[in-house]
A and B are shown apart, each in its own frame.
Chain A
Amino acid sequence: MQQIIKFFIRFQVGILFIVLFIVSLALTINANSFHQQKYLTSANQLSGFFFDIKYDITSYFNLKTENSILQSENIYLKERLSDNFTFSTNTKKENPLFTYKTANVISNSYRLPRNSLIINKGVKDSVQKNYGVSLPNGILGIVEDSSSSFSKVISILNTQLSINAKFLNSSQFGSLQWDGKSPYIMQLNDIPRSAKFSIGDTIVTGGNSLIFPKNLLIGKVDTFELDNNLGYYYINIRLFADMTNLNEAYVIIPKKITEAQELLK
């Protein structure tokens, strides 16, 4: 017994180092694996508090760019309205599948291989895990965890995430992924050789998921090359949204998600 105690006293620094190092490695691995129960709620509250103060101060600097982004979104929406607008005698409104809630990005990251951000809406505002988050000119990510008034969002700039996407003017589907290099460029994979498209074509969300509605803007084709062995295109997509400078966001709240999930079971 005495020997053991002596051993611990003699090597206390080394033992403490090893224990703490294992703890930090466990935290790292835990943060990198997906959809695990997080114990970050109190931490989220504290960092959210500071980021909220910072947001209050710094949000004024971007008002000009923010305004022009919102304006161009308005124009886009108005154009679509006049296209589709028909007078109907049926006064009963169709119940939409998704509703939106505005939020602000208070902490952003785009430098890591697996980025995440914090928005200032939480459980109090009925934001929950697995809800999609979009931008005025793009998509932002998926809610991973919510505390009472803040939520942690997995950014689309995450090498492990893949999002269903398609061309605006055809129904060719692919999966949108990120190679971890530039925060402005993402990759659209699984587009077969037979697909017809050209540089500059617009990419939108596919709607094959319960998270994002159909036809949300993502980006446009920047460059592409064909893998002759596999018969698939590698397409680089230039995002419309500047992921390095985010402010306004919309949380997408699905209304009939439980009904659809029942069917999928």
Chain B
Amino acid sequence: MVKKYFLYILKFVALVLLQVLILDNVLLFGYANPYIYILFILFLPTTINRSKLLLIGFILGLFVDMFNNTGGVHAASTLVISFLRPFILRMSFGLSYDYNTLNIPRADIKSKVVYFTLIILIHHTFLFGLEYFSLDQIDVIIKNIAFSFLLTEIFILIFVKLLNYK
């Protein structure tokens, strides 16, 4: 039990540091930046208490914000995906989530991709929407969301498939 918690804390710290020290310096095509730290929320146990999930999501985002000096932009977006995660799980995995038999790492790749895609899209929409916070730069916001979405999706699939993150 203690070992399990320790492992989660280790993953949390590693993902946040990987994000703020290395991946925040990646900027492809002028717009794309991968946000890999949401992997932590993606692979939390599916049976986790919803209030606990919200708090974890909020704290995860707050740490990334602290390093980026962005106030609460990441905290708000991770909070939203933690809040919507149960609904998205049901949408992408269907019955196996309802019967509590879902094991995300073992699920088939098609549902997993749907699940990642929905979560990343919602996260990035909130992230860039709040970051710019004005509609006159809607073209920049959409470009940012699109490019970063592609990059995050690729990075997450690499982590899951090749590095066997779970």
Contacts and interface: CB of A to CB of B under 8 A. Distances in A.
A67 to B, nearest CB: 21
Interface stretch (B92-100, B114-122, B129-137, B153-161): B129-137
A115 to B, nearest CB: 9
Contacts of B54: 13, 16-17, 20
Interface in A8-57: 12-13, 16-17, 20-21, 23-32, 40, 43, 46-47, 50-51, 54
A25 B72 contact: yes
Nearest to B30: A182
B69 A24 contact: no
A113 B137 contact: yes
Interface size class of B (residues with CB under 8 A): 20 to 34
A32 B58 CA distance: 19
B66 A28 contact: no
A104 interface: no
Given A31-B72, A180-B140, A16 B21 contact: no
B71 A28 contact: yes
Contacts of B51: 12-13, 16
B75 A24 contact: yes
Interface size class of A (residues with CB under 8 A): 35 or more
A24 B33 CA distance: 22
Nearest to B71: A31
B71 A27 contact: yes
Interface in B35-93: 50-51, 54-55, 58, 61-62, 65-73, 75-76, 79-80, 83
A202 to B, nearest CB: 26
B71 A30 contact: yes
A193 interface: no
A55 B1 CA distance: 37
A47 B66 contact: yes
B27 to A, nearest CB: 6
B72 to A, nearest CB: 3
A31 B70 contact: yes
For the complex of A and B, 3 pairs with smallest distance between CB atoms? A31-B71, A27-B72, A24-B72
20 contacts: A16-B51, A17-B79, A20-B58, A21-B80, A23-B58, A24-B73, A28-B70, A28-B73, A28-B130, A28-B133, A29-B71, A30-B71, A40-B66, A43-B66, A111-B27, A113-B137, A116-B69, A152-B69, A180-B140, A244-B27
